[in-house]
């Protein structure tokens, strides 16, 4: 049998460009981005 399945409403998602994370209040997550691709 199958395991758990999850569904997400794509209308609830909002794309925030990496350079805007700080001003949108998500600066604490900048460390999750790999800087080697810049």
CA distance 25 to 6: 27
Q: Is 35 a catalytic residue?
A: no
Tell which residue, 13, 14, 31, has the closest CA to residue 22. 31
In a 13 Å sphere around the CA of 21, the CA atoms on its Cβ side amount to 11
Q: Which residue of the set 7, 8, 12, 13 is catalytic?
A: 7
Catalytic positions are 7
């Amino acid at each position: 049998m199958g395991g758990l399945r999850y569904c997400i409403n794509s209308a609830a998602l909002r794309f925030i460009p990496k350079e805007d994370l700080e001003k949108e209040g998500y600066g604490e997550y900048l460390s999750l981005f790999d800087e080697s691709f810049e």
